[in-house]
Structure 1
Amino acid sequence: MEMLKDTEAILAARSAQALWQHYCARLAELGFAHVCYRSVRALTSCCNRMLDDGLLLSSYPPHLMQELAAQDLLASAPMYSWLAQNGGWESWAWMQRRRLAGRLPAQEQAAADIFMRHGHVSGYAIGLGNEVDHIRAGLILGGAIGMRQDQLDQLWASHGRVVVALSGLMHLRISTLPQAPQECMLTLRQREVLECIAVGHTTQEIAAILALRPATVEKHLRLARKALGAKTTAQAILLAASRKLIFLPAGAQPPPAGETRAAGVETGQAQPWGATPDAAFTEGPPRGPGPDG
């Protein structure tokens, strides 16, 4: 019955923030108090491959995430090497074995040291692979501060299947919800003109539909291209659709234009990645069991 309630709540979510809050609260009830979700969207054509927006959500303490950001280690969180190559799940024991063998990349080791210094000494990784077209994602999660790996293993033995199922549902649902970095916000008019262009209307027809002058329509298109970082209107439509900023389902609302967010990475807040993710995480080899060391 609980799983049914969770499924209903996840499907009913109309914002990434509401979905994330429910997911984190449910995992905390199961004993997994800290979760970090990371995804990247890649758009590939016959002539180019473009990394679009990424998403980083965390319920780990803000000061921990801010320390990682300050040292440019957000892309080197514990188990990153494993997530880059695998789907399914694995415990942090995999990382500890590689560390003892001297095979853990220096950046990952530095990130793991920060986690451990803050009392996060155990965890699990869930690789979400390519469950959603064009999106590769993964999760790390842990228990209470100071919880040993063997203690967390007992929780996983009891609730691991539920955690994996909830994580998959969360990932599938969040990929359908509007989410965009602050610099990519669109106004209502910018969304309207992009939608009209996408369904085949000319500038003159859009002006008549929206009761605007053609020059004003062109202005909104120009500003939309600038907001999205697009060179052409066609590319702007592609990016806006990919980021779920146009053609929204009933009840879904994009992040408001001009919204102000605090600097840094905050608990439960969606944050764009400032740097291009590693190609390994974006592409990754076929899913399967990872090497043990």
Structure 2
Amino acid sequence: MLDYLDGLAQATSLERVWALHCDAMAGFGFDRLIYGYTRFGKPGALGDFEDAVFLSNHDAEYFNRFISQRMFLEAPILRWARDNTGACGWGALWGDPDSLTEGERRVVAFNRSMNVTAGYSISFPVPGPRSFGLISMSARPGLSQADVDVIWSRHGRSIEAMNNMAHLKIISLPQTPVRGRLSARQREVLEWVGDGKSNRDIALILGVSLPTVEKHLRLAREKLGVATTAQAVLKASFLNQIYLGSQNLTVL
């Protein structure tokens, strides 16, 4: 595990973290993973999907149907995860069909048709009511839920700890808005706004015109999908696109 943790600490991109984590989980028999996280949930809902992070190594057909077509919203594990944190074996949710809604039964049937028949999911602790994070790990074909439960009895604490560490690493890294990556200048202008500077102040600091500053802020708002500059600063900070206070850091 030390090699895994060292690799995680050294990783500087979501792609590297995800590749490392998928390899580690495959070593325990979980060869297909789906991870999702949002900081922008709404009461009783997950919020705008464009504001969420989804990572997966499932094939494109499965991902498109399960995530892109929103089938996961009726998954039994999602209902469980909204009220619980920690790990849950799928047998506890799929074992009694009478306890499932019609939509949940459709999801279970779809998963079985795609050879997603056994596994575990982990609902992550979150810092506030608008945040939500979950990873579902499907066991490789040929393993039953009973087989997976044995694996979990032996290695579950390590697997859960590794997933929690991967989750914390993922949410610490920059996340690109669906509408496009902020430019370096857009990030810089937003950081100055977050530092309390007016548009005129920023124009003087950067040696550019006031209309240029206003253009950068407008483009940043569009990419972040928000109406106001204050919202843009907050959202860019949540996405780790900017780091508030960085303009005033002094190296001693």
Regarding TM over 0.5, the answer is yes
Which residue does 1:90 correspond to in 2?
A: 88
CA 70–225 in structure 1, closer or farther in 2 if over 3 Å, else same: closer
CA deviation string 1:67-96 (max 9, x = no partner): 324653032335222112111212111122
CA deviation string 1:148-197 (max 9, x = no partner): 11111222122211110000101111111111332152111111111111
Do the aligned partners of 1:240 and 1:246 also contact (CA within 8 Å) in 2?
A: yes
Letter in 1 for 2:213: V
Distance (whole Å) between structure 2 residues aligned to residue 225 and residue 150 of structure 1: 50
Distance (whole Å) between structure 2 residues aligned to residue 88 and residue 247 of structure 1: 30
CA 115–169 in structure 1, closer or farther in 2 if over 3 Å, else same: same
Q: Is 1:214 aligned with 2:217? A: no
The offset of 1:121, in angstroms, is 1.0
- Higher helix content, 1 or 2: 2
Aligned-pair RMSD on alpha carbons?
Answer: 2.5
Which residue does 1:254 correspond to in 2?
A: none
Q: TM-score, normalised by structure 1?
A: 0.75
Name the SS for the 1:79 alignment partner.
helix
The offset of 1:23, in angstroms, is 0.6
Letter in 2 for 1:64: Y
Distance (whole Å) between structure 2 residues aligned to residue 111 and residue 34 of structure 1: 17
Which residue does 2:144 correspond to in 1?
A: 148
CA 50–70 in structure 1, closer or farther in 2 if over 3 Å, else same: closer
Letter in 2 for 1:125: S
The offset of 1:146, in angstroms, is 3.4
Which residue does 1:32 correspond to in 2?
A: 30
Do the aligned partners of 1:83 and 1:127 also contact (CA within 8 Å) in 2?
A: yes
Which residue does 2:201 correspond to in 1?
A: 205
Identity %: 32
2:229 corresponds, among 215, 220, 233, to 233
Do the aligned partners of 1:198 and 1:237 also contact (CA within 8 Å) in 2?
A: yes
Structure 2: where are the runs of 5+ without partners?
A: 247-252
Which residue does 1:113 correspond to in 2?
A: 109
The offset of 1:213, in angstroms, is 0.9
Distance (whole Å) between structure 2 residues aligned to residue 76 and residue 182 of structure 1: 24
Which residue does 2:166 correspond to in 1?
A: 170
The offset of 1:122, in angstroms, is 0.8
How many residues align structurally? 242
Distance (whole Å) between structure 2 residues aligned to residue 133 and residue 180 of structure 1: 23
The offset of 1:39, in angstroms, is 1.5
The offset of 1:209, in angstroms, is 2.3
CA deviation string 1:7-50 (max 9, x = no partner): 22112221111111111111111211111111121379xxxx99
Do the aligned partners of 1:78 and 1:140 also contact (CA within 8 Å) in 2?
A: no
Distance (whole Å) between structure 1 residues aligned to residue 41 and residue 133 of structure 2: 15
Distance (whole Å) between structure 2 residues aligned to residue 78 and residue 123 of structure 1: 13
Do the aligned partners of 1:127 and 1:139 also contact (CA within 8 Å) in 2?
A: yes
Q: Which segment is superposed worse, 117-126 or 196-205? A: 196-205
Q: TM-score, normalised by structure 2?
A: 0.87
Distance (whole Å) between structure 1 residues aligned to residue 206 and residue 129 of structure 2: 34
CA 43–137 in structure 1, closer or farther in 2 if over 3 Å, else same: closer
Distance (whole Å) between structure 2 residues aligned to residue 93 and residue 70 of structure 1: 25
Name the SS for the 2:40 alignment partner.
strand
Q: Is 1:130 aligned with 2:126? A: yes
CA deviation string 1:78-122 (max 9, x = no partner): 5222112111212111122331xx221222221221111111211
Counting only pairs closer than 5 Å after superposition, residues 34-49 of structure 1 correspond to structure 2 as 34-42=32-40
Letter in 1 for 2:161: A
CA 177–152 in structure 1, closer or farther in 2 if over 3 Å, else same: same
Distance (whole Å) between structure 2 residues aligned to residue 185 and residue 107 of structure 1: 36
Structure 1: where are the runs of 5+ without partners?
A: 251-293
Name the SS for the 1:42 alignment partner.
coil
